[in-house]
Structure 1
Amino acid sequence: MLEKEILEYLKRVGFKPEEVMTANSVCSDDVNAMQFSISDTGLLGPFYLGGLDGFPFTGLTGIQAFAHHMPEEGALLIYFGPHIGITEKGGIGKIRRTGQDHDSDCCGAAQAALKKLNNKPQPPTLLDYQQDNIVTLFQMHKQRIETAIDPIQEATEVMYDSIAERIHLLIDHSKDTFKGKHAILIGSVFINVDEGSEACV
């Protein structure tokens, strides 16, 4: 379990849970709120950096605000990554959600973005800014995604790379804010599963 491994690591390096401020850059999807359990460990936070599919849309303002919330003599921990569903029968990009009798897209934003890939990229709009930016990110890797054996799985890998790159860029542009602070980064693809099963990274 990820939360157990995190607590064991923090103990080894000399931090108690109440000394560590966390941030998540994970998708806004409600299934993550139900299945993502780092928040139940006694760690502080989380500060929410992520928007659709986990991309850190809060930008410099968000990550710098988060860094300012660190306890004295404490540490910062950022978990980041996209998510993807896998059904009980092994279907990728779908899950059976609580109370529903059918499978649905997961991540829905990623699935929707795949349907908009074309040879004429459109600029982001204010009404759907986050989704439009995901389409743009996928558009940059259109050939890689469309020639993959499983496009949604490949798109999830593209999103992971994009999130990791952006998190590091935001920290690099916030050196003064992070100077002298312990910062722990954990990146992975979060796997959602059908109701009654156990999610994993």
Structure 2
Amino acid sequence: MLQRKFDEIVKKEFPNARDAKDTSIHFLGKMQIEHQLDVSKILMATSVCSDDINVPSTTFFNVLFGPFVMGGLGGVPFVGKTGMTAYAHHIPDEGSAFIFYGPHIGITLDGELGKMFRPRMEEKGNSCGALMLALDRLQHDGYTPIVNDDDYQQMKLEESLLPFRAEILASENPPKAITEATYGIIDNKIRQYLKTCKDEFHADKVTLLGGIIINTDYGLDDYFDARNFEVIDLKSL
């Protein structure tokens, strides 16, 4: 009953979102049946937020090798070209690559985006914490992140969001808008690193699955709003 209510609430904001575990099964099937990929030889990489709440979201983690973790705060692939090269070198013989990426956002039964009730906690908290912190800071006039070693990932995340600041703050729903902007940042960086490092792969194909993870309540399934699914021939990049 509660899962059904969350389904209605999630789809008001993300009409194309599907149960995250069903999403996993759907795209694993597409890789096997439509693209003839051997899932026993696929190494998964993730560029999702390092938040612990995202680990049980999908069944990819239970089926595929890996993950090779690319994402840091917000899901941005902070490993850069060196990390993409390392991942390329780890692909199984005669195997292929699968990169699952995107930011996440919580939602409550009241439909509040950017919030969720975490396991064994009575008070709701931020999700994504890094993005909601960035949103709070960007709302202060004149704020500019200063990149430093003490908080490198958060500062770089906020720096990357600066070009979208006006658009985010003018939105009817800034938590959703900052999440959407972050998806674009992650997608662009993944493609950039793939193109730069394509010759490092000893595989013909890379599968990309990008979207937004939507966190619900503890004990209930999360959702995934898929924005991109493609199997790329590396020779075409």
Q: TM-score, normalised by structure 2?
A: 0.81
Alignment partner, residue 26 of structure 1: 48
State the shift of 1:89 in Å: 2.2
Structure 1: state its 5+ residue gaps: none
Tell me which protein shows more helix as a share of its residues. Answer: 2
User: What is the alpha-carbon distance in structure 2 between the residues aligned to residue 191 and residue 120 of structure 1?
Assistant: 28
Q: After TM superposition, which residue ranges in structure 1, 4 or more long, deviate above 4 angstroms?
A: none
Q: Residue 93 of structure 1 aligns with which residue?
A: 114
- Which amino acid in structure 2 is aligned with residue 183 of structure 1? V
Q: Please name the residue that 2:165 is paired with.
A: 142
1:77 alignment partner in structure 2:
98
Aligned counterpart for 1:173 among listed residues 196, 202, 221: 196
For 1:105 and 1:188, how far apart are their aligned partners in 2? 19
Residue 182 of structure 2 is matched in structure 1 by 159
| 2:19 paired residue number | none
CA contact (8 A) 1:171 1:178 kept: no
RMSD, aligned α-carbons? 1.3
Letter in 2 for 1:38: F
C-alpha separation between the residues in 2 aligned to 1:125 and 1:37?
36
Whole-angstrom distance in 2 between the partners of 1:50 and 1:36: 16
* TM-score, length of structure 1 as denominator length: 0.95
Cα shift at 1:120:
4.4
Unaligned runs of 5+ residues in structure 2 are 1-21, 225-237
d(CA) in 2 for partners of 1:95, 1:180: 40
1:24 and 1:47 map into 2 onto residues whose CA distance is 6
Deviation at 1:10, TM superposition (A): 2.1
Once residues 193 and 180 of structure 1 are traced to their aligned partners in structure 2, the CA distance between those partners, rounded to angstroms, is 36
State the SS of the aligned residue for 1:155.
helix
**Corresponding residue to 2:156 among 118, 121, 133:** 133
Higher mean Cα deviation, 67-76 or 103-112?
67-76
Residue equivalent to 2:59? 37
Note the alpha carbon deviations across 1:111-137, whole angstroms, 9 max, x for none: 111122243423311110000011112
Corresponding letter in the other structure for 1:124: V
Give the C-alpha shift of residue 195 in structure 1: 1.0
Which one-letter code corresponds to 1:137 in the other structure? S
Q: What CA deviation, in whole Å up to 9, does each residue of 1:75-134 have, x standing for no partner?
A: 100011000001122111011011011110000000111122243423311110000011
Of residues 106, 111, 115, the one that matches 2:127 is 106
**Aligned 8 A contact 1:114 1:138 in 2:** no
- Name the SS of the counterpart of 2:150 in structure 1: coil
Measured after TM superposition, the shift of residue 67 of structure 1 is: 1.0
Letter in structure 2 aligned against 1:47: F
